[in-house]
Chain A
């Protein structure tokens, strides 16, 4: 199944403002699906004038598995393991978003300890996602994996926690409608607390390694500037939106889960460029550590699942619901339409990475090819979510 390369009509002759006397046509390059820096099978058709990008059209669908159709053919519970595989870095938050939507649809309540566990696991997911993103972005810039290994050292600790709790490092399948699947023992909580207590020291070391580096600053400042108006209109959410200075965090707005019980700040950026997006992730990691400390202090023993929810033959009432959470990449939402059957009638995922890619062309115009990789890395895409 070969894709026809989308032919890009040549623009008029590029202006001679670069001081060059060379004339020519635009060069069409496919930064193709197999590329070490495109975060998965992602393709960009760029029209280049020398090194400057004049036009950029993203092409995706290489990982399209029609997850939404599978959701229509599977029961509500059976779709839960499939949500792990959407954004495969953050399986816990995907599970939570889906469980939240079904709970909204059916009006199910969640016991206290389950809510605390959900917050703890979601913030741990955010920690490891942001650390990995910084590591991957530095690898894209040519740092050959050293910051990536530092980030992965911490990520391994968190994934070991997930493994001892849910049974699997990445595909956790942990949340259920009305609570969580497995209870966390006291040793697990103590182990998690130890890791979280040592995280700020790692963050200090990591920031010293990356964020003061002149090469990083030179390559990311004033590159890929996104204005707040365009960001809001284009539906950008998550750290990318907050880097433009827009104060919109769904944890504070929708007040889902037990987030109102925790005191945490929302970091905001000033310029909206790539460096701000990097700093967003670094600062958000610190705020996540604050939330985790408070959650560990407040969690108390109790039931972890609502006993009134049936596991098999779960039939929610007829209707529809849209539930959303602040995932590490942006607003992750699930829209479910039920007609009373055990399978959903319409199962839709609102993928943050997909929608954040709307502005990729706008950000890259006028920059060089090298900047395209940096900008793409800072948008934080995972192809499992873009293509579903």
Chain B
């Protein structure tokens, strides 16, 4: 009978419609913004800079090496290096960025800047409700807006932040161990040198004719 195909299709629609009252699977609309689905851990949308501790200037991890600026495909990062240095988390004095701007009307969230950063200073944020009323000025994020604390990073990406912290801690202990080993080796070398000098001084004294045995 002609029309059975259409009737079967209508039966499918009817089944879905009635079923949506009973089965959660069939009712898939999320009433945003009253309901929000939690974002997965790996979700990424626009980068931000991390600082350790409470001071966003002193704890900033970025050392203005400009690698992210060079690798960024649409060239949306703009960095100006500072003239002076400040100590980083291991105590070494490093440059810091005087100006760090990201133009989020250009950024495509490809996270290549995160991949190439050697200092774990820039990571991906999860903020997507970023619409502004001014088109040109407010879509340029400056260093102050971009700097967020390490606790914030732990909150949005717990697994990733734990890995990063572990990596940094391991690097710090490895550096410590290396420093200690170097110091020990230096001390040993100094002691050996002192002993050799003492032995050299004692030698001419021992060469002098002195029949005293067992002089130590």
Contact = CB atoms under 8 A, between A and B. Distances in A.
Interface stretch (A166-174, A232-240, A353-361): A166-174
Given A156-B28, A171-B108, A75 B71 contact: yes
Interface in A156-183: 156, 160, 163-168, 171, 173, 181-182
Interface residues of A, number: 35
Interface stretch (B35-43, B82-90, B141-149): B35-43
Interface stretch (A18-26, A204-212, A266-274): A204-212
A81 B28 contact: no
Interface stretch (A1-9, A213-221, A278-286): A213-221
A168 B5 contact: no
A205 B10 CA distance: 11
Given A182-B42, A311-B116, A82 B73 contact: yes
A209 B12 contact: yes
B162 interface: no
Contacts of A205: 12
A166 B42 contact: yes
Nearest to A79: B73
B9 A213 contact: yes
Contacts of A212: 4-5, 8-9
Contacts, number: 75
A167 B12 contact: no
Contacts of B4: 212
Contact of A81 (B9, B45, B110): B110
A372 to B, nearest CB: 24
Contact of A208 (B8, B108, B110, B115): B8
A164 B40 contact: yes
Given A208-B12, A212-B5, A214-B5, A167 B124 contact: yes
B91 interface: no
Nearest to B159: A185
Interface in B105-119: 108-112, 115-116
B44 interface: yes
B204 interface: no
B110 A173 contact: yes
Interface string B8-24: 11001100100000000
A31 B43 CA distance: 39
A214 B28 contact: no
Contacts of B6: 213-215
A167 B3 contact: no
Contacts of A189: none
B99 interface: no
Contact of A167 (B2, B16, B43, B112): B43
B8 A77 contact: no
Contacts of A156: 28
Interface string A364-380: 00000000000000000
Given A209-B13, A215-B6, 19 more contacts: A77-B112, A78-B73, A78-B112, A80-B110, A81-B73, A81-B108, A81-B110, A153-B28, A164-B43, A167-B111, A167-B124, A171-B109, A182-B42, A208-B9, A209-B9, A210-B9, A213-B5, A214-B2, A214-B6
29 contacts: A75-B71, A77-B112, A78-B71, A78-B73, A79-B73, A81-B112, A150-B16, A156-B28, A160-B40, A163-B39, A163-B42, A164-B41, A167-B44, A168-B44, A168-B109, A173-B110, A173-B111, A173-B112, A181-B115, A205-B12, A208-B9, A209-B13, A210-B9, A212-B5, A214-B2, A214-B3, A214-B5, A214-B6, A311-B115
Interface of B: 2-6, 8-9, 12-13, 16, 28, 39-45, 67, 71-73, 108-112, 115-116, 124
Enumerate the 4 nearest inter-chain pairs by beta-carbon distance, A residue then B residue, closest first. Answer: A81-B110, A212-B5, A78-B73, A164-B40
